[in-house]
Chains A and B, each alone.
Chain A
Amino acid sequence: METKQGKPTATPFKVVRLAASAALGTLNEIYYKELANAKQQGKPVIWITSMTPIELVYAFDGIPFFPENYAALCSSRKVAEDLCKAGEARGYSQDLCAYALCTFGIMFEKRGAFGEPPPDPDILIATEGACATHPKWWEAIQRHYECPMIIIDAPYTVDSETLAPRQKAYYVAELKEAVKSLEQATKKPFSMEKLREVVSFSDQASELWDDIDAMRAAIPTPISQIDVFTCLFPLVTLKGTKEAVDFYKQLRDEVKARVDNKVGFVPNERFRLIWDLFPVYHNMRLLNYFAEFGAAFVTDLYGNAFSGRLDSSDPFGSLANRYLSFFMRSASRGKAELYKKRAKQYHVDGIVFHSNRCCRNFTAEQPDIGAILREELGLPSMSFEGNMVDPRGYDDAQVKSKIETFIEMLEARKYPKK
């Protein structure tokens, strides 16, 4: 990339798709077919929030449905704005989580990403484990569908490493109560054996994901941030199934082959960045705009939030360790330490913050994390405002201009003109 008068110029390039994308498409199709047919097959449709232990859903042979994931789909299909507005028309504030607003739109208007709405929930499960919004949002859904609802509380401390054994025991007790409620709601007995099997699959998928994540440290980095976000679907929705494990084996092998052959996804990698945190679902191509300047995202924490090692010999205990050590639960210092480690490990030049206007919980620490990384590692950052799902208020031209300024600054730092 040549710079004219110090201004960097974007160079569009052809993105080489992953071969695993085809398998991902098939998995998607099968999942949505199963979801649509669940009721006929006597399987409960269980709406869950992120950080709900999905392993419980599969242990009860349910079909999980993630309104969050589905809202993201609505956003990429450009129907989220209308659905959010429908939620607002019922009195819900535009400042609320856009995932929630979008779900309210689906619920009140009875339509979805492809026209038809997703199947109504037979059971609802939420947790405090990710954010305090989830239980309130689920409460509103429950009021509408009037089906059984389970909410799992999760202790919060500033630093997840300081969790007391008592707090872990509290969470395990919450899980066991959820199991009892699921027995009642599904009229099926709980099987420890089945849970162990699900936990084992979940662990294998996470291990593979962690391997792939580690390979992003290679120079050049093998896959794009769009690939990472897209390939998350099985880790979010199918974790605990053999299909997810098979998919990630294929993906791991493909990524490994790229690393072995030093194939990067950007033709000429010049800058390596951290992405924090939520995708911009209505404009995923924004990520490629960075790539047009040779800037690749080499790590993020969003994807890893869905990965966590488990132990089938201690399903409940390991679920507690896994869901309570979810990094997003820690305050700025904890997150900054994670990024500091990654900044070194992944040879990072800068960090990009997506200030997600509708997500109070995970946007909270961004200014502080930025300050810590700047002060302690001299790592520059940029921040732009957006909304993960709702395109309103997002100004593409302004964001791109910010990106250009940021790249210009990175250029001057990393490749100073002599």
Chain B
Amino acid sequence: MGAIEEFEKVIAKRHQYAQDWKQKNGGKVVGWLCTYVPEEIIYAAGMLPVRILGSHETQDVTDAYISSIYCPFCRDALAQGLKGRYSYLDGIVHARSCVHIRNTFVNWERHVPIDFAYLMFMPAHVQSPRSKPFLTKEYGDFKEALEKWSGKVISRNDLVRAIVTYNTNRRLMKQIYELRKRDNPPITGAEAMKMVIASQLMDKAEHNKLLGQFIKELYGRDIGRETSARLMLIGSEMDDIEFVNLVEELGATFVIDEHCSGTRYFWDEILPEDDPLAAIAARYIDRIPCPPKDWPERRRLPFILELARAYNVQGVLLYQQKFCDPHEFDIPTLKQMFTENNIPTLVLEFDATIPWGQFRTRIEAFLETLTFNLV
């Protein structure tokens, strides 16, 4: 089976994967809700961190808990818990980010049976020199809580091993992303997304093996069609592979992204320093920020523009989950930045559980303009 098929299999059977892992390794499975959760510490404890994702189905089980003015993703994620699809989870961890996903955590803790629920404070003022030493201590508390829960000490070596495994994962995915700079990228946007989402659901050591296999397969690989318009996908939470697929079928290729199932998840590595917890903290403080943590200076902007240039992007899809306030505040500024740099944008507001077909005409029109520009 090719690596892509393996990724697809894990995504489709994510619950089976986690339960098999549990049976094989005898460890606990811990769900996380935001990419600000330091998975490395959980992994160092011999546990499997898995991202809690929605199922993109319409549902009516969350209305009593989270009203309809919250992002569809946070409701979809909670719905999975309420429906018992994550009943194998031993714990759930969240690090402060936005109010939407906090709601998922708070309601999960109250209404879904779970052995261990932990909310850590993640500074929003990451640009302050105080945030790193502070977060290091928060991580110390988190590590202790995990130790108390599991009855096992997390050693320095455990942490270093986890860091190395996670860094390897990031480096390999970045290498694969690097190939997307080519005139004819060997993978599609949908394939890249499958790779990253699988990473969020799998034991990183196993994912690393698959990445090794994937890199071998990439020698001489092509996507079997023209690259056409080179697109960038920017926005909030995004794991809608079907959407990415369908845009690409209309005659385009996503060559780069900035969202939390893409670069924002894995781009930055952990640099070695004496205290492994401090090293992990530095990574989460300095990583490409999510909008709620991008102040007083908006550091996302230059990073995004640099990516767009490096990947020779011809058009940008700026999408947001409906009601996602942090992204709603950034989108006008991003749009303006791209306009000033002569890169066309299309803004899309998403409801993760509503068929995306309504966007088809707009996307087709957008792609036509791009092709026109290219000619």
Q: Which residues of the partner chain B approach A96 to less than 8 Å between Cβ atoms? A: 325, 328-329
Q: Which residues of the partner chain A approach B305 to less than 8 Å between Cβ atoms? A: none
Smallest Cβ distance from A393 to chain B, in angstroms? 11
Q: Which residues of the partner chain A approach B328 to less than 8 Å between Cβ atoms? A: 92-93, 95-96
A157-B65 contact in complex given A91-B335, A96-B328, A132-B99, C-beta closer than 8 Å: no
Contact partner of A132 (CB less than 8 A), chosen from B64, B98, B128, is B98
A368 to B63, CA, bound (A): 11
Q: Which residues of the partner chain B approach A156 to less than 8 Å between Cβ atoms? A: 96, 121
Contact partner of A131 (CB less than 8 A), chosen from B99, B322, B329, is B99
Q: Is the CB of A139 within 8 A of B296?
A: yes
Q: Which residues of the partner chain B approach A315 to less than 8 Å between Cβ atoms? A: none
Give B40-81 interface residues, CB cut-off 8 Å to A.
Answer: 63-67, 69-70
Give B100-127 interface residues, CB cut-off 8 Å to A.
Answer: 100, 102-103, 106-107, 109-110, 119, 121, 123-125
A73 touches B (CB below 8 Å): no
A381 to B35, CA, bound (A): 37
Instruction: Kindly report which residue of chain B lies nearest to residue A135, judged by CB atoms.
Output: B295
A355-B67 contact in complex given A132-B98, A157-B119, C-beta closer than 8 Å: yes
A136 touches B (CB below 8 Å): yes
Instruction: Kindly report which residue of chain A lies nearest to residue B69, judged by CB atoms.
Output: A357
B349 touches A (CB below 8 Å): yes
Give B275-296 interface residues, CB cut-off 8 Å to A.
Answer: 291-292, 295-296
Smallest Cβ distance from A364 to chain B, in angstroms? 5
B87 touches A (CB below 8 Å): no
B86 touches A (CB below 8 Å): no
Smallest Cβ distance from A349 to chain B, in angstroms? 23
Instruction: Kindly report which residue of chain A lies nearest to residue B105, judged by CB atoms.
Output: A158
Q: Is the CB of B69 within 8 A of A151?
A: no
A157 to B134, CA, bound (A): 15
Binary flags per residue of A318-335, CB closer than 8 Å to B gives 1, else 0: 000000000000011100
Q: Which residues of the partner chain A approach B322 to less than 8 Å between Cβ atoms? A: 95
Tell which of B99, B109, B128 has the most Cβ of chain A within 10 Å: B99
Q: Which residues of the partner chain B approach A203 to less than 8 Å between Cβ atoms? A: none
Q: Which residues of the partner chain A approach B296 to less than 8 Å between Cβ atoms? A: 135, 139, 142, 149-151
Instruction: Kindly report which residue of chain A lies nearest to residue B106, judged by CB atoms.
Output: A331
Q: Which residues of the partner chain A approach B128 to less than 8 Å between Cβ atoms? A: 153, 174, 177
Q: Is the CB of B103 within 8 A of A132?
A: no
B323 touches A (CB below 8 Å): yes
A136-B325 contact in complex given A153-B123, A360-B70, A364-B99, C-beta closer than 8 Å: yes
Smallest Cβ distance from A5 to chain B, in angstroms? 33
Contact partner of B295 (CB less than 8 A), chosen from A136, A331, A366, A368, is A136
A166-B64 contact in complex given A128-B125, A135-B124, C-beta closer than 8 Å: no
The number of chain A residues with a CB under 8 A from chain B is: 50
Instruction: Kindly report which residue of chain A lies nearest to residue B131, judged by CB atoms.
Output: A153
Q: Is the CB of A92 within 8 A of B121?
A: no
B298 touches A (CB below 8 Å): yes
A412 touches B (CB below 8 Å): no
Q: Which residues of the partner chain B approach A136 to less than 8 Å between Cβ atoms? A: 291-292, 295, 325-326, 329-330
A128 to B298, CA, bound (A): 16
A173 touches B (CB below 8 Å): yes
Instruction: Kindly report which residue of chain B lies nearest to residue A364, judged by CB atoms.
Output: B103
Q: Which residues of the partner chain A approach B182 to less than 8 Å between Cβ atoms? A: none
Q: Which residues of the partner chain A approach B67 to less than 8 Å between Cβ atoms? A: 355, 363-364, 366-367
Q: Which residues of the partner chain B approach A331 to less than 8 Å between Cβ atoms? A: 102, 106
Give B329-355 interface residues, CB cut-off 8 Å to A.
Answer: 329-333, 335, 347, 349
A21 touches B (CB below 8 Å): no
B9 touches A (CB below 8 Å): no
Instruction: Count CB-based A-B contacts (< 8 Å).
Output: 122
Q: Which residues of the partner chain A approach B138 to less than 8 Å between Cβ atoms? A: 166
A361 touches B (CB below 8 Å): yes
Q: Which residues of the partner chain A approach B329 to less than 8 Å between Cβ atoms? A: 92, 96, 100, 133, 136-137, 139-140
Q: Which residues of the partner chain A approach B66 to less than 8 Å between Cβ atoms? A: 364, 367
Contact partner of B125 (CB less than 8 A), chosen from A133, A149, A174, is A174
A245 to B119, CA, bound (A): 40
B130 touches A (CB below 8 Å): yes
A367 to B246, CA, bound (A): 37
Q: Which residues of the partner chain B approach A164 to less than 8 Å between Cβ atoms? A: 141
Give A3-45 interface residues, CB cut-off 8 Å to B.
Answer: none
Q: Is the CB of A153 within 8 A of B333?
A: no
Give A93-132 interface residues, CB cut-off 8 Å to B.
Answer: 93, 95-97, 100, 128, 131-132
Q: Is the CB of B325 within 8 A of A360?
A: yes
Instruction: Kindly report which residue of chain B lies nearest to residue A169, judged by CB atoms.
Output: B134
Q: Is the CB of B99 within 8 A of A360?
A: yes
Q: Is the CB of A91 within 8 A of B331?
A: yes
A173-B130 contact in complex given A151-B295, A355-B67, A367-B66, C-beta closer than 8 Å: yes
A371 touches B (CB below 8 Å): yes
A167 touches B (CB below 8 Å): yes
A392 touches B (CB below 8 Å): no
25 pairs, CB–CB < 8 Å, chain A vs chain B? A95-B323, A96-B325, A96-B329, A128-B124, A132-B98, A132-B326, A136-B295, A139-B296, A140-B332, A153-B123, A155-B123, A157-B121, A158-B106, A166-B134, A170-B123, A170-B134, A331-B102, A331-B106, A333-B110, A355-B67, A360-B69, A361-B99, A367-B66, A367-B67, A368-B110
Chain B residues proximal to chain A, CB less than 8 Å: 63-67, 69-70, 96, 98-100, 102-103, 106-107, 109-110, 119, 121, 123-125, 128, 130-131, 134, 137-138, 141, 291-292, 295-296, 298, 322-323, 325-326, 328-333, 335, 347, 349
Chain A residues proximal to chain B, CB less than 8 Å: 90-93, 95-97, 100, 128, 131-133, 135-140, 142-143, 149-153, 155-158, 164, 166-167, 170, 173-174, 177, 331-333, 355, 357, 360-361, 363-368, 371
List 6 A-B pairs, minimum CB-CB distance, nearest first: A91-B332, A153-B125, A136-B329, A93-B328, A132-B292, A135-B295
Task: Knowing that A131-B99, A155-B123, A360-B69 touch, tell me 19 more A-B residue pairs with CB under 8 angstroms.
Answer: A95-B69, A100-B329, A135-B295, A140-B332, A157-B121, A166-B134, A166-B137, A166-B138, A173-B130, A331-B102, A332-B106, A332-B110, A333-B110, A357-B69, A363-B67, A364-B103, A365-B106, A367-B63, A367-B64
